[in-house]
Structure 1
Amino acid sequence: MNPAVSNLVISLGAMQLAHIPSQTVARKIPFDDPQVLTYVRIAYAVTQAITLAVYFYTAYKIRSKNDQTVLKYVEPANPMSPNSGGLMTTTYRDYDLSEVSKLLKGVYTGIGMMAFLHLYMKYTQPLFVQALMGLKNLYEAKPVAIHLLGQKAEGDLKRPFKTAPSLFGGAGNPATDKAAIDEAERKVGGVKEE
């Protein structure tokens, strides 16, 4: 399932209760009870701590494997950034570390947003949903699947990872075919290696 759609389904599923149309699950939780609020805060903090620990351990495993297999692909141009795209040459190690770095930035951004929403704006319901989303994102992390769960890097896990289309479209997926790589090498004036 598309990650953007599954995020929406989990959010709506956590927030909606089918047999009470005007009520939400999060509204049924008595957040005004200090003990319940403490438990939700603990659940959120534990989820984020587990997620960060798994991502750091994944980065450690990537560094210890030190896979220097060369990876070439053509990154699609981003319409919002005219200088993006082009030929990318890296190693599996560096590519996987950059993907883990993106995952960590996502966690840090989420924690920052939750700190603002919960501590400053006094919203408590997003803590409940974000605790669930943290576990879902951890389950869908491709570097975790390869390096910790031992899945083979093929299909959806083949590098470079294909990005699932967002709800609003996207720049596309990296091209890995020989013709696209040769064309990109000619554009940058590089020497084609056989």
Structure 2
Amino acid sequence: MNPAVSNLVISLAVMQLARKIPFEDPEVLYYVRVGYVSMQILVLSVYYYISMTIKSKNDQTVLKYVEAPNPMSQEPGQLVNTTVRDYDLLETSKLLRSVYMGMAMMGFMHGYMKFTQPLFVQAIMAIKSLYDATPFKIHILGQKAEGDLKRPWKTAGGMFGAAGGPQTDNAAITEAEKRVGGTTSKKEE
């Protein structure tokens, strides 16, 4: 199932369950807060552990690909020449940033606007998003980096499955190298 669709289905089910929870009770609210904070600490700890695992493996295999072009611009994608270690660390740091952003938004929604139901929903969704994360599948669950897990990873599709991603075919890489080589020679002149 598409991750965006499964996220929607799970969040709707959890929201229905959250309607039955008496958030007005201070003791229940306390436990929901503790649960939310515990889930965020767990997710952050796992991502930091994944970062340490990536650094300890120190896989220096060269990874070449062409970034997906921005759909809002006419410019082609840029050539990226990196290592598996650096790529995995970059993707894990993106996941960490998304957790921090979610925590900041939840802090605003709960602390300032006094919404309580999203705390419960986000505690559950944090575990779901951790399980869906590609670095988790490779470095924690031990799945091989083949098929859908082959680097560079494709971005998750939206609601209708329009997944975009980097180009790894030789023609795209060669074309990007020519563009980079062409702009370099122009600058040298």
What's the TM-score once normalised by structure 1's chain length? Answer: 0.88
Q: Is the 8 A contact 1:74 1:175 kept in 2?
A: yes
Task: Report the Cα offset of residue 170 of structure 1.
Answer: 6.2
Q: Is the 8 A contact 1:162 1:174 kept in 2?
A: yes
CA distance in structure 2 between the aligned counterparts of 1:81 and 1:42, rounded to whole angstroms: 44
SS of the residue aligned with 2:166?
coil
CA distance in structure 2 between the aligned counterparts of 1:31 and 1:172, rounded to whole angstroms: 40
2:187 maps to none
CA distance in structure 2 between the aligned counterparts of 1:52 and 1:4, rounded to whole angstroms: 22
Q: Is the 8 A contact 1:76 1:171 kept in 2?
A: no
Greater share of residues in helix: 2
CA distance in structure 1 between the aligned counterparts of 2:20 and 2:64, rounded to whole angstroms: 51
Q: Is the 8 A contact 1:78 1:171 kept in 2?
A: no
SS of the residue aligned with 1:150?
coil
Q: Choose from 66, 80, 92 the match for 2:58.
A: 66
CA distance in structure 1 between the aligned counterparts of 2:51 and 2:174, rounded to whole angstroms: 31
Structure 1, unpaired ranges of 5+: 17-24
Structure 2, unpaired ranges of 5+: 185-189
What's the TM-score once normalised by structure 2's chain length? Answer: 0.91
Q: Is the 8 A contact 2:156 2:163 kept in 1?
A: no
2:2 maps to 2
CA distance in structure 2 between the aligned counterparts of 1:31 and 1:175, rounded to whole angstroms: 48
Check 1:170–1:77 CA distance in 2 against 1; reply closer, same or farther (3 A cut). farther
Q: Is the 8 A contact 1:71 1:90 kept in 2?
A: yes
Identity of aligned residues (%): 66
Q: Which has the higher contact order (CA 8 A, sep 6+)?
A: 2
Deviations 1:87-119 (A, max 9, x none): 111000000000000000010000000000001
Q: How many residues align?
A: 183
- Cα RMSD for the two superposed structures: 1.9
CA distance in structure 2 between the aligned counterparts of 1:47 and 1:84, rounded to whole angstroms: 40
Residue identity matched to 1:76: A
Q: Choose from 68, 74, 77 the match for 1:85.
A: 77
SS of the residue aligned with 2:80?
strand
Check 1:169–1:157 CA distance in 2 against 1; reply closer, same or farther (3 A cut). closer
SS of the residue aligned with 1:189?
helix
Q: Is the 8 A contact 2:79 2:173 kept in 1?
A: yes
Residue identity matched to 1:43: G
